[in-house]
Amino acid sequence: MSHYRSNLRDLEFNLFEVHRIQDRLDAWSDLDADVARDILREVERLSKEEWAASFVEADRAHLELVDGEVKLPEGLKRSVDALREGGWDRLGLDAELGGIPVPPSLFWAVEEMLLGGNPTAVFYSGSGLFARVIFEEGTEEQKELAKLMLDRQWAGTMVLTEPDAGSDVGAGTTKATHLEGLMYHLEGVKRFITGGEHDASENIIHLVLARPEGAGPGTKGLSMFIVPKYLINDDGSLGERNGVVATNIEDKMGLKGSTTCELTFGQDRPAVGYLVGGVHDGIRQMFRVIENARMTIGTKSAATLSTGYLNALEYAKERVQGADLAQATNKAAPRTEIIAHPDVRRMLMIQKAYAEGLRALWMEAAHYQDLVAIDPTDTVSERRSDLLLPLVKGYSSEKAYELLALSLQVFGGSGFTKDYPIEQYIRDAKIDTLYEGTTAIQALDLFFRKIARDQGQTVAGLASEMAEFVKGTSDGDAFVAEREILGRILDDTQAHLGVMVGHLMASMSGQPKEVYKIGLHANALLESVAELTIAWLLLRQGEVAASKVDEDPFYVGKVAVARFFVSDVAPKVSMRRQAAEAETGALMDLPIDAF
């Protein structure tokens, strides 16, 4: 039986009842609510069956690099083939490219199920993103390459990280020497490249950041190049092997079926690359890939916590152990399912609230992406989506990894075994807090780029909507108390942000070390902004559900989740504010030897 437990009901609730995607589907031809639901149901089936079938096999297989090549487990390749045969690798792409246009929110709903069912396989089937970037950023000739990528189902990779640079992308030293036209020779070593080498596709198209000779330092001196594993002949057939070779494959804690490689360019033969679009605009171009990857990781985190929780819930309903606590002194009392025990219920409700909260968070970001897709001039929605992205990636990855431990705890000792999928979920999830920018990088991005550089306009607009929601009580309102709590959470978060802005102003006015205080509390600010936002979103969901509680227990759960989450996060947000206000910066004055 499949390990994967989907939550299609909640996905549909978010799409059709909260965000009412059906009201704007006419912007996508040949798509209506029935077709959208059919897509979701078929991908749910695929995710549970052929797709999830290789989840364990991919983890147990020991991948080896032999003569620069890696052979994947046959079951994993069958899973990838099943996705491609269904045409699902084309979902969300423009028709001009050969894709199936759908709203971003529907695309990400599909991605949640695929990422929950088999995240490893996703990394071998994501060529659509790379094809789209090449198509939209490339020359006319490169646009044809993008179409060829889709038609031939070639894989793609994002190649940024270098051994000595790490997350400091601007410190990269990979060199690009100009030959003629858009053709360059690349020399250097890249590390931690997902899907850098495998046999799930006949060709791999690497998108590589490198520094052309004579270019300046930092990220502004980087350009983006198309570097195929096999060179491509004029008729689209494969030519000789290019000079990009996997020289190491990482032995990892999790996602073991995903080849994470060291790639060496120009070692034994020239590595031919082609300047994307004929312009030296690499970091902007690559950020289109990076931002999509960050959304992917946030959605993956939400998906993994959701299936972890649902596996734990299923087990708790079936596992019989101990008597009801109210009859603990009665030795003859019947044994009960563990879901009757208070501590198990507490753990399950925490998982449910945060799993559904993380889904609400990425769905809100995707909703704004829908609006931008309909009207590219909608800068308000574009900035809202940008503001939420570090929350989706940073907060979701941290919280999912933390709470998967509760999923395992519900199983007791059985959860620590490989009989159940939770231990693999935990190992596979840890990387989410690390790659595509660590949580600290997401937090600094939130504060410096999404709030300070924007002069607080976008976050102020979001806070204004929340404040209106807090005031929106009426007779018969089911959430009077929760609105009041949300108001306090909003006040505490704004006060925390105010403290951080004060440190920033001081650092710019002759006290440069004040910026350290921002670094010490940036992660905490990210957590509070995320929890404030999720509390607001879940209360909005609760409003939709409150009038339907007699129809379906699902809606009862929605109301309960909203109330629980708001009460759970309020004291945490308050404590983070107090910690930020009390910060002295003494930690940064501590001698290194004291550590």
Catalytic residue numbers?
436
Distance CA 482, CA 53 (A): 43
Of the candidates 379, 405, 451, the residue with the CA atom closest to the CA atom of residue 312? 405
| Number of C-beta neighbours around residue 296 at 10 A | 23
CA dihedral 295, 299, 301, 302 (to 10 degrees): 140
Q: Is the dihedral of CA 582, 490, 291, 438 positive or negative?
A: positive
Minimal CA–CA distance to 496: which of 390, 570, 579, 566? 579
Which of 170, 175, 182 is CA-nearest to residue 220?
170
Distance of CA 396 to the CA centre of its chain: 8
Residue 398's nearest CA partner among 584, 526, 251 is 526
Q: Which long-range contacts (CB under 8 A, 24 or more apart) does 59-68 make?
A: 59/120, 59/254, 59/256, 59/257, 59/424, 59/428, 60/256, 61/256, 61/257, 62/256, 63/249, 63/256, 63/257, 63/259, 64/249, 65/197, 65/246, 65/248, 65/249, 65/261, 68/197, 68/245, 68/246, 68/247
Q: How far apart are CA 505 and CA 492, in angstroms?
A: 20
User: What span, in angstroms and rounded, lies between the C-alpha atoms of 116 and 103?
Assistant: 20
Q: What is the DSSP string of 410-476?
A: HHGGGGGSTTSTHHHHHHHHGGGGTTTS-HHHHHHIIIIIIIITTTTHHHHHHHHHHHHHHH---TT
How far CA 101 is from CA of 46, 95, 128, 376, in Å, comes to 20, 6, 12, 16
Structure-block tokens of residue 418: 């490989």
**Beta strand 223-228 pairing with 183-194:** unpaired
243, 272 in Cβ contact below 8 A?
yes
Separation between Cα atoms, residue 282 and residue 408, nearest integer Å:
43
Phi, psi angle pair for 10, to nearest 5° = -75, -35
Looking at residue 229, its amino acid is: K
Nearest to 8 by CA among 110, 92, 119: 110
422-451 CB burial, b ≥16 within 10 A, e <16: bbbbbbbbbbbbebbbbbebbbbbbbeebb
Residue 156's beta-bridge partner residues?
205
Are the C-beta atoms of 369 and 375 separated by less than 8 Å?
Answer: no
Structure tokens at 135: 């198509």
CB 106, CB 15: distance < 8 Å? yes
Instruction: Write the DSSP symbol of residue 163.
Output: T
Which residue spans within 152-311 are E strands per DSSP? Answer: 155-159, 175-180, 183-194, 204-212, 223-228, 230-232, 238-241, 244-249, 260-265, 271-275
